[in-house]
Structure 1
Amino acid sequence: MEVKETFKRYLDLLAIYAKIDLMWLLRDTKYALAAITADIISNLSMVSGVYLIAIRFGGIGGMSVDEVLFMMAYSTITTGIFILFGSGNNIHISRIIGRGQLEHMFMQPLTLKTQLLTSGFVPFTGSSNFIIGCILLITAINRLQLQITLWWIIQLIIYILATMVIIVARAYLVSSAAFYAPVAAEEISSTAIEGTWQLSTFPLSGMPSFIQLPLLTILPEGLMAWFPSLCLLGKPPLNLTEYYPLAYALALALAASIIFRKGLRYYVQKGSNRYVPYGFRR
């Protein structure tokens, strides 16, 4: 019963944020459409650049043009999910921490976890990239003539979830610095996430191992789209197991959880000497 009530609470909160998003779209449609268009152009420009290179040279590093398109579709879907559920600074958590605004969340009659899970939901103004990614994925599947089974769809969902875990865990891991240095680390999550997107859209196939391995271990850019895409195509790279992204996501999530909780305890005990009212009424 408790699990059912918790799930219902999450759905109710998502519905509230969806309503708020719709109200913004209807109240200021011109500005909302401009923001949606900017998101679409920004993502497509990043994706199309790599795809046009693949067309020009007949592929990249052993990946065919259609395989590159499949990877671009995967990347667009994960970007779309990020925007769809992370537009409330709930993933860019260093902004909330660095501005000394966690107290706003502590005062709410909801747990911090519940607020962070739901506060960034924008289905009306933030779903465009996700929809485009799905269209690109269907196009790539048709061009590659992939045999789609229920297990393949389950694998796709699992890999996308693992990718999102890696993105969120990395953001929270680096954001822990904002507990100790709020001014210097306020935008550290933005730097980490944007850097991930810029590197993750380019295939690592054909690159030397001294470039590939660091981007699969020290930095997770190769796990954002390249590695899971090849696994879904039945071609796990570098003789690594197809479960590697899942193991990496689990390890990174555990590390982020431990370090973030430690930083949060420091924040609760010491407080913050900074407050910036961006996005809040005085």
Structure 2
Amino acid sequence: MADKITFVRMIKLLGISAKMDLAWLLRDTKYALAIISADMISNLSIVSGVFLISVRFGGIGGMSADEVLFMMAYSTLTTGIFMMFGSANNIHISRIIGRGQLEHLFTQPLPIKVQLATCGFTPFTGGSNFVVGVILMIIAVSRLGLQVSFGWILSLAAYLLMTMAVIVARAYLVSSMAFYAPVAAEEISYTAIEGTWFMSTFPLSGMPLFVQIPLLTILPEGLMAWFPSLCLLGKPPLGLSAYYPMLYAIILSFIASYIFKRGLNDYVRKGSNRYVPYGFRR
């Protein structure tokens, strides 16, 4: 019963966030549309750049131009989901920690998990890249002649969920440093996530193993779009199982959860130096 109540409350909170997002769009439409357009142009420039390279050279590392387009569509979908659900620094959590703003969450009559899961929902101003990703995915699937079944759509949704789990887990893992060094680590999650975007949009096919393996183990850039896309195309790379990304996401999530909870417990005991005389934002 408690889980049902929490779920219903989360849906209501998502609805409130959506109403606030729509209110901002209607109140300052010109500025909002400028931001939406800038986000779309920025993402499309990255996607089109890699795709045009593949067209010019007849593919990249054994991937055809249409397969590269499929990967770019997957990457754009990931970007769109991130922007729809992470616009309130709830994924860039190091900013909240470093600025001493967790106390604001403590004062609310809601679990912190519920607040962080719902506060960044912006379907109207943050959903443009997701729509573009859906369009690109339809085009890529059509050009590749893929047989799209209900099971395949579920697999796509599962891989997208896995990708977001890796992004969030990595962000929270590195953000744990902000509990101990708020000044130095306030923007560390932004740096980690932006680094992931830049490296994950290029296919790793054809790269040597000493490049591919670290980007599938130590760093998750290869799991952001390249590996899931090949799995959805029925061609898991390097002889690995199609379940490898999900296993990686589960392990990374457990590690991030453990380390983040330890940092949070330390934060609860000591507080933020923002509120002491020598605090860096006082």
TM-score (norm 2): 0.97
Match of 1:278 in 2: none
The CA deviation string for residues 198-257 of structure 1, in whole angstroms up to 9 with x for no partner, is: 000000000000000000000000000000000000000000011000000000000000
- Greater mean alpha carbon deviation, residues 86-95 or residues 40-49: 40-49
> Aligned ranges for residues 156-167 of structure 1 at < 5 Å?
156-167=156-167
- Check whether the contact 1:182–1:274 (CA below 8 A) recurs between aligned residues: no
> Pairwise mapping of residues 29-40 of structure 1 onto structure 2 (< 5 A)?
29-40=29-40
> Any residues of structure 2 matched to 1:33-182 within 5 Å, and which?
33-182=33-182
Query: What is the CA-CA distance between 1:4 and the residue it aligns to?
Result: 2.2
Cα drift, residue 7 of structure 1: 1.2
How many residues of Structure 1 are paired with residues of Structure 2 in the alignment?
276
Give 2:117's aligned amino acid.
L
Gaps of 5+ in 1: 276-282
- Report percent identity of matched pairs: 73
Amino acid in the other structure paired with 2:152 = W
User: Once structures 1 and 2 are overlaid, which stretch shifts more, 147-156 or 159-168?
Assistant: 147-156
Q: CA deviation at 1:3?
A: 2.4
Q: CA deviation at 1:46?
A: 1.0
- Aligned partners of 2:211, 2:6: CA distance in 1, in Å? 44
- Equivalent position amino acid for 2:251 in 1: A
C-alpha distance in 1 between matches for 2:81 and 2:253? 18
Partner of 1:210: 210
- Residue aligned with 1:59, SS: coil
**Deviations, residues 51-90 of structure 1 (Å, cap 9, x unaligned):** 0100100100000000000000000000000000000000
Amino acid of the structure 1 residue aligned with 2:250: L
* Counterpart in the other structure of 2:27: 27
**Structure 2: distance between partners of 1:102 and 1:217:** 31
Would you say 1:219 and 2:219 are equivalent positions?
yes
Distance in 2 between residues matched to 1:232 and 1:213, nearest whole Å: 20
Specify the alignment match of 2:195 in structure 1: 195
Query: Helix, strand or coil: the match of 1:87?
Result: coil
Q: Deviations over 1:14-45 (max 9, x none)?
A: 01000110110111111101110111011111
Over the aligned positions, Cα root-mean-square deviation in angstroms equals: 1.0
| 1:31 counterpart SS class | helix
Unaligned runs of 5+ in 2: 276-282
